[in-house]
Structure 1
Amino acid sequence: MSSPSFEIVRQFYTIMNGHQKSKAVEVCTKLRIAEHIAPESSKSVGELSKELQVHEDTLYRFMRALTSIGFFHEEEITDTNKTHGIFKHTQLSLCLRDQGVRDIIQMRVSPFQVLSWDGLLNSVKTGISNHQETLNYPNFWEYLKDHKEEEVIFNRSMTGLTNQYIPILLSFSDYSKFEKVVDLGGGQGLFLKIILTNYQNIKEGINFDMKIVIENNHHGEDLDKRYSDQSGDFFVSVPESDCYVLKNIIHDWNDESAISIFKTINKSIRPGGKIYVYDLINDLNLKNEKYPTGWNDLNMLMVCNGKERTLQDLEYLAKESGFKIDEIRRHSTIPNALGLTIFSKI
């Protein structure tokens, strides 16, 4: 067997160094470097080090590393009287000025993510994640209850992701026939608020989540009078409604738990009611694809013992809980993107 080419070796090391790059981006967000460089301007590493109160030479080495993966751009110096180390923004580094993006980054490198993935070998062997071993808790949700800072970052990051998805989700969603909408696991309530803003026909909207989440929700004085927060457990009972929203919820759970959620809804859904399930729809016909579905799927296993499901998987959940799938809607040009699966009671 011949030795691998230089390009193959470099690709290999690029993959294996992924943890270094994610840690560097995390530190960049914690230092808030992106906010110290104006969008259409540039700044020297000397100025940055003084503003950030960090070691100048190490900051320069740090910034140089970030430029190699597309964060910031070091300007070329042709004047020999000028020193190196003038940086400006790229499209990637500009994203770091957004609080929602920073929250997502902090969530992705938080201890619960890192610790959960330490159990990958065991999960490949057994098919499940042993959170008692990796997190010292029975599951991810119990872990969050005792780790308030991570819980706050997690909830804010979910809101940040929702903010990014909203235009796409609304483009293939229709709430014009519903009087009451309940967003199960709706977190800070952003998606429900946007739905209410766009559909005046809705008379009542309930943002339903765990007590620990609802207690931390804070709203402005201009809150829509139709909106309300309600704490509870969707494995036990949910408010009566003619539309339930499950956005990035079902993929958090294994089949047994997902079916239990749907059965709880089955007890309360009004005649003719619908369930709107927003999750990635895993298309197994896309082989060797470069979209992140495979990694999302593994992450759901490691963190939640969940999965990204195929259409057949969703049909199984529907059948086992007394529902049927009416329709699937998804973005027309983005394979394996977040889709909408509409359930109705049999």
Structure 2
Amino acid sequence: MDTLNHNLPEISESEAAGLFLIDQAMAFCFQGALRAAAVLGIADQLVNGPKTADELATAVGADADRLHRILRLLTTRGIFREVGSRRYALTPAAEYLRSDVPHSFRAAVIWLTDEPMLRPVGNLVESVRGNSAFEHIYGMPYFEYWAQAQVSSGDFDEGMCSYSTLESSILARSYDFPKDATVADIGGGFGILLLNVLKINPTLHGILYDQEHVLAKNRLGELGDDSRFELVAGNFFESCPPADIYLLKYVIHDWDDKRATQILRCCRQAMAPGGKVLIMDPLIPAGNSWSTSKLADMIVMAACHDGGGTERTEEEYRELLGGAGLRLNRIIDTGTFVPIIEAVAD
């Protein structure tokens, strides 16, 4: 029997707007629920079919009623599906929370929802005032913090690797690389992007350029041909290795214009004739339309380098590149919120 009272009071447009505002202010609760499901490994428990909240709770060592409440919220946005009373199943999105799939986002979700990511964003006012929200909380720069061993349950390297795997595969397929070129992945971390590029383009030679301790964790061995790549340690503010094409994925957006220009200038100085620089960062679209890049902008504002981290518009990239002796040639839509911004010598 329907026991709800359908004689609803009339709510004005202004009142509805106020209720909407409160709804937005509580949106962080969804990220908390998503993190709980990722940490507990709920998706792994559903690989062989739906289970009840009680069965899941027994498997992961949780309280069944509270787990049901977490999953009930996640189903509202398509993360898991309720297929009966308190009985849950995987959805296409939840498949990426599994730890045993090639492009798992589980580590990325745990990293992105960990305290060192959430707290600075919650204290954005400090960055808006011209300081670094991250340093205000933790007393040290973002990358210095993550370089310390076991500082957090949300491991930075594993989180970034998880975050990058699927995206890098898409980006590598989105660009037509010339044959026999040398491609340098600047600040390339574990080399996930470069690995994908080399797999798709068998005539290319790759250079993974990063700090020594980062290079030690590279995954380029998965290529099965050590002759097709080299590891080069260095500082991208000082120099970059000679190459035909430079990959800069999630590098430029970490830095203010002065330091970003330094990186780009080092690429320009080392670049072979006819070379190109490919920037792969979120791009802020014109107008006030929704874009995931605007969320990423809040993260880099809160975390990176005295508030210097920023996502940029097309016009801002044109100006930035011009200061480094480069010219924006074209922007390639990749189907993700990260395009490929192709720059050539000016």
Q: Provide the rounded CA distance (Å) in 2 between the counterparts of 1:59 and 1:29.
A: 12
**Per the alignment, do residues 325 and 60 of structure 1 end up closer, same or farther by CA in structure 2, a change over 3 Å counting?**
closer
Displacement of 1:220 in angstroms is 4.5
CA contact (8 A) 1:145 1:212 kept: no
1:169 aligns with 171
Residue 10 of structure 1: how far off its partner (Å): 4.8
Q: Residue in 2 aligned with 1:292?
A: 292
Counterpart for residue 211 of structure 2 = 210
TM value normalised by structure 1: 0.85
Per-residue CA deviations over 1:124-167 (Å, capped at 9, x if unaligned) read 233x5254322201x21112112446598333333333332245
In 2: Cα distance, 1:42 partner to 1:262 partner? 51
1:18 maps to what in 2? 27
> What is the identity, as a one-letter code, of the residue corresponding to 1:75?
V
Instruction: Quote the Cα distance in structure 2 between the aligned partners of 1:142 and 1:157.
Output: 16
Q: Distance in 1 between matches of 2:165 and 2:342?
A: 22
Q: Which residue of the partner structure matches residue 61 of structure 1?
A: 69
Shift of 1:98: 4.7
Q: Output the amino acid matched with 1:207.
A: L
**Aligned match of 2:264:** 262
Is the CA contact 1:208–1:232 (under 8 Å) kept in the aligned structure 2? yes
User: Hey, what does 2:319 align to over in structure 1?
Assistant: 316
1:130 to 1:256, Cα distance in 2 relative to 1, 3 A: farther
Is the 8 Å Cα contact of residues 168 and 192 (structure 2) preserved in structure 1? no
Counterpart secondary structure, 2:206? strand
C-alpha distance 13-131 of structure 1, shift in aligned 2 (>3 A): closer
SS at match of 1:59: helix
User: Which blocks of at least 5 consecutive residues in structure 1 are unaligned?
Assistant: 77-83
Could you tell me which amino acid in structure 1 is paired with residue 193 of structure 2? F
Identity %: 25
SS at match of 2:139: coil
Partner-residue secondary structure (3-state), 2:224 = coil
1:22 alignment partner AA = Q
Conserved in 2, the CA contact under 8 Å of 1:118 and 1:134? no
RMSD of Structure 2 on Structure 1 (CA): 2.6
Instruction: Measure, in 2, the Cα distance between the counterparts of 1:151 and 1:144.
Output: 11
Aligned to 1:146: 148
Partners of 2:318 and 2:328 within 8 A in 1: yes
Match of 1:97 in 2: 98
Residues 209-239 of structure 1: per-residue CA shift (max 9 Å, x gap): 1223222335557532212333221112221
> 1:181 offset after TM fit, Å?
1.0
Given residue 163 of structure 1, which amino acid in structure 2 is its aligned partner? T
**Count of aligned pairs:** 329
Hey, what does 1:48 align to over in structure 2?
A: 56
Q: Deviations over 1:281-305 (max 9, x none)?
A: 2222x32x12222222222211113
- Cα distance change of structure 1 residues 217 and 177 upon mapping to structure 2, 3 Å threshold: closer
Using a 3 Å threshold, how does the CA distance of structure 1 residues 10 and 101 change in structure 2: closer, same or farther? Answer: farther
Q: Quick one: which amino acid aligns to residue 156 of structure 1?
A: E
Matched, 1:135 2:143: no
Name the counterpart of 1:36: 45
For 1:148 and 1:218, how far apart are their aligned partners in 2? 21
Query: How far, CA to CA, are the matches of 2:60 and 2:276 in structure 1?
Result: 52
Matches of 2:210 and 2:218, distance apart in 1:
10
- Distance in 2 separating the partners of 1:212 and 1:328: 33
Structure 2 distance, partners of 1:172, 1:59, is 40
Residue of 71, 81, 86 corresponding to 1:73: 81
1:188 and 1:278 map into 2 onto residues whose CA distance is 16
Dislocated runs of 4+, deviation >4 Å: 2-10, 147-152, 218-222
1:20-60 residue CA offsets vs partner (Å, 9 max, x unmatched): 22111111111101111136x21122222222222233333
Separation of aligned partners in 2, 1:21 and 1:149: 25
Structure 2 residue runs of 5 or longer lacking an equivalent are 1-10
For residue 126 of structure 2, give the secondary structure of its aligned residue in structure 1. helix
Kindly tell me: are residues 48 and 328 of structure 1, through their superposed partners in 2, closer, same or farther at Cα, counting changes over 3 Å? closer
Query: Among 111, 117, 129, which residue is 1:113 paired with?
Result: 117
In the alignment, the residues of structure 1 paired with residue 280 and residue 171 of structure 2 have an alpha-carbon distance, to the nearest angstrom, of 8
What is the SS of the residue equivalent to 2:88? strand
* Shift in CA distance, 119/61, structure 1 to aligned 2, threshold 3 Å: closer
What CA distance in whole angstroms lies between the structure 2 residues aligned with 1:116 and 1:133? 8
* Partners of 2:220 and 2:195 in 1: CA distance: 11
Query: Which whole-Å deviations, capped at 9, do the CAs of 1:95-123 have from their partners, x for residues lacking one?
Result: 31156311221121123212322431122
Question: Measured at CA, do residues 5 and 37 of structure 1 come closer, stay the same or move farther in structure 2, by a change above 3 Å?
Answer: farther
